[in-house]
Amino acid sequence: MPAESYDVVVVGGGTAGAFAAATAAREGLDAVILERKSPDQAGHIACGDAIKGTSTFPDVIDLDYLREESFTNENIERAVFLNPQTDEKLDIPFGETAGSVVDRKRYGEVILEEAERVGADLHYDTVVQDVRQEDGVVTGVTAVRKGSPAKYDAEVVIDAAGALSLLQDKTDFSASTFDTNVNYSQFCSAYREIIETEEPVDYDDAIVFKPTEELGYLWYFPRTDRDINVGLGFQMNKEPMKLVDALKRDVEQRSEFDNATVKDKLGAALPTRRTYDSAVAPGYMAVGDAAAHVNPCTGGGIPGAAKAGHWAATAAAEAISEATADTEAALWEYNREVQTDFGKRFAAMDLYNIWGGTYDVDDLVGLITALPGQQLADAVAREGTASMGLGLKLKTVLKTFDTRLKNWRTLYELAQVNRIAGRLKDVYDEYPSGPEEFEDWRARRDAVMDDFYELTGADPKY
């Protein structure tokens, strides 16, 4: 069976994969996306659907077309925080930065259409089964395409296969820096439904969320004034939640869902951890969920995945042009781009996630709601985010620190966490320019983490 040969093989047609393939094609490379789903099902992914917009997306596809086709609600002006203890709610305005909610399936279809339009091949119904590797260098993959065996040769394989990617189980990373310190407890299990209400909801300009008992959050995100993305998740290092039952109980308590119709159901796992320390190996790169490019507090990952896919393909194109893609060093700039951009922020946010796990969610909610409501709203508005979990809310608590509160000891500890988060970001700003300095960098990062664990008494996450 002869192999099909490409410069770049992208495994997975989500945000990261589509932007990687589009970028590679625009760089003049032969690129293909291997998508396991059929054309009818491609783009059907469990997601909260909330997004800030396309302003940070790489300009390698028609972003205006993407917005016109898939952005169904561009008028998200506030967040609503529901207190599970008192049923009170806090409105939090976004200020000048409005958010959006998308139809995730149509969004997924469009980015694949666009990747194909700019020159990438697209192979649907293709399930990758193994990685081909010679002398530590990834040289391609094997797959089953429409029921028949298939082989693909590649200068670079870009792994966009999602959380807990199968490719990483199949690849020997022993001679590389690729981060293998990954396990299920660093992930979140999530479930969502698309529910159509009989009447328009009164929060079509808001994203609504409520903390759950497992340091996750339940969300109500309006795609339109009647189509609501409703979902929740829990951290996998906590006791499992019965997600469907928990969601059903909450929905049944809300009058707007009387006689409503469930249009779609879907579950997923997503990373709620820092980004991979290194996501490159000779001939191989990981992007998006496959490299934990997700905010560990909110689960938001679309913008980071788009940028990561673009950066990975740009680095791959340069390495291929210099015939050095079989080395880590030639692909390393991609690591540096990620870590000095959203990687450092996600690593810092992860500290609040870990710290929060040392408390009961009721204690944390009590801490948050003890603060002056308007001050907290003003603080969160300045964050300019369109997706907020409990961890991010805790971070904003520091902006309204009040020593008169009965929770002052906890607040003091949280302030110390904030200082350590600042130190951690400084270390990430000094991410090395090549793999030869990587171990020294990681030792400095881990020393900061040791100080954090000593302060909080939290169990090490990594």
In DSSP notation, 287-338 reads: -GGGGT-S-TTT---HHHHHHHHHHHHHHHHHHHHTT-TTSHHHHHHHHHHH
CATH architecture of the region 4-74+103-178+276-341:
3-Layer(bba) Sandwich (3.50)
Please choose, from the candidates 137, 57, 115, the residue with its C-alpha nearest in 3D space to the C-alpha of residue 331: 137
pLDDT value for 417: 87
pLDDT value for 286: 98
Residue 454: exposure state from Cβ atoms within 10 A (0-12, 13-18, ≥19): exposed
Residue 36: enclosing H or E segment and its boundaries? Answer: none
pLDDT value for 364: 59
The CATH 3.50.50.60 portion of the chain extends over 4-74+103-178+276-341
The CATH 3.30.9.10 portion of the chain extends over 75-97+185-271
pLDDT value for 396: 52
Please choose, from the candidates 204, 183, 143, 360, the residue with its C-alpha nearest in 3D space to the C-alpha of residue 272: 183
Rounded to two decimals, what is the model's pTM?
A: 0.90
Q: What's 45's DSSP letter?
A: -
Q: What's 53's DSSP letter?
A: -
- Beta carbons of 66 and 28 less than 8 angstroms apart: no
pLDDT value for 391: 52
Q: Which residue has the tokens 């340091």?
A: 215
- Beta carbons of 102 and 229 less than 8 angstroms apart: no
What are 289's two structure tokens? Answer: 């969920």
CB atoms within 10 A of CB 117: 13
**Which residues make beta-bridge pairs with 189?**
234, 269
Q: Which residue has the tokens 């391609």?
A: 140
Average pLDDT for runs of 10 along the chain of length 462: 93 98 98 97 88 84 96 91 78 79 96 98 98 97 97 98 95 96 90 96 92 76 96 81 87 95 93 96 98 88 95 98 98 98 94 80 57 41 40 50 53 81 96 97 98 95 95
Residue 366: exposure state from Cβ atoms within 10 A (0-12, 13-18, ≥19): middle
* CATH of range 75-97+185-271; options 3.90.1150.60, 3.30.9.10, 3.30.70.1350, 3.40.50.300: 3.30.9.10
First to last CA, the chain: 42
